[in-house]
Amino acid sequence: MKFVVKLGGAALENPEMLHACAQAIADMVKDGNQVALVHGGGVQLTRTLKLMGKQSEFISGLRVTDAETRDTAVMVLGGQVNKALVAALGGHGQAAMGLSGGDGLIFRARKKRTAPDLGYVGEIVASDPRWLDAIWQMGAVPVISSIALGFDGEYYNVNADEMAAACAAACKADALVFLTDVPGVRGADGEVMRWLNVDQIAGLTRDAVISGGMLPKLSACREALLQGVKRVRILPAEVASVLPDLCSSRVSFGTEVLVA
C-alpha cells in the first residue's frame, strides 16, 4: 500500500517520540508499503526567527512570511529539520532521501491569494511524482519539507498539512495520516471525535469549535479525500507504533475524516 505520513509538532522536538515515529515508518516499509514522509517544523522556525529578532505572526493558522522569513524557512525546514528526519530513519536502517518540494520540480506553487497578504506563502498547483516513484523503487523513503518552487522562480512557504494532502493526491495514496501533538479533533463537548465528516467542518469552524492550526489541517483532509485519497486520519504521534496496522486492523486512536 501507499502511505503519506505528515509529521509535525512535538514529535519533531521529542527524541523518544521521533524515534518511535521513525521506527513505525521503517516497519511499514519492511512490510512492503511505500511511504512518503512530509514534515513541518514551525516550532523550530519560530525559534530560529526569534533568535534573529523577528516576531512570528499567524493568520488563520498560516504564518505571515516576508522574504527574510521565507529564506529562513528554506534553511530550517529544508535543511536542519529535513536532515534530522533522514538521520532518524537511517538510525533504524531505513534509507531515506531528503527533498524540498522544489527538488526535481516535484511540487510547484503559486502565491496564496489572501486578505491580508501573507507574503511568500504558497499553495500547490502542480505536481510530478516521478521522483517519488524513483525513490520508492530504490526501497527508500522520500522525506519532503514544505517548501515549493513557484513558476516565478521564487520559493514559497507552504503549510505542511496542505503539502501532505497534495502529495497524497499526486501519488494516489491509499492513506494519508497526520501525526500530531493533539489526540484528535475535539467536538463542542471537548471529547475527541472518532469520526468526522467533511460536511461538518464548516459548522465547527463557524462555531469556533476548531480554530488556529486545526483549520488548515482539516481543509487539507477535505482536499485529499475529494481528490481520491482513500483514507485520512489525524493520529496522535505518541501512538505512532500503530501505523503499520492502520489499514489491517481496528485502530481506536485519533479522528478518522470521512467524505459523504
Q: What is the pLDDT along the chain (260 residues), one digit of tens a residue?
A: 999 999 987 788 889 999 999 999 999 999 999 999 999 899 999 999 999 999 999 988 789 999 999 999 999 999 999 999 999 999 999 999 999 999 999 999 999 998 899 999 999 999 999 999 999 999 999 999 999 999 999 999 999 999 999 999 999 999 999 998 888 888 888 888 888 888 888 888 888 888 877 888 888 999 999 999 999 999 888 888 888 877 666 667 888 888 87
3-class DSSP state of 178: strand
CA distance 194 to 133: 33
Question: Residues annotated as binding site for substrate?
Answer: 41-42, 63, 157
- pLDDT attached to residue 51: 96
Domain covering 2-258: architecture? 3-Layer(aba) Sandwich (3.40)
How many CA atoms lie less than 13 Å away from 117 in the CB half-sphere? 4
Packing angle of the helix pair 15-30, 82-90 (nearest 10 deg)? 60
Please report, for the chain, the start and end positions of each structural domain, with discontinuous segments joined by +. 2-258
CB atoms closer than 10 angstroms to residue 75: 14
Task: Please spell the DSSP secondary structure of 217-238, one letter per residue.
Answer: HHHHHHHHHHTT-SEEEEEEGG
| Residue 174 DSSP code | S
Contact 246, 233 (CB under 8 A): yes
Question: Would you state the pLDDT for residue 182?
Answer: 86
The annotated binding site is made up of 41-42, 63, 157
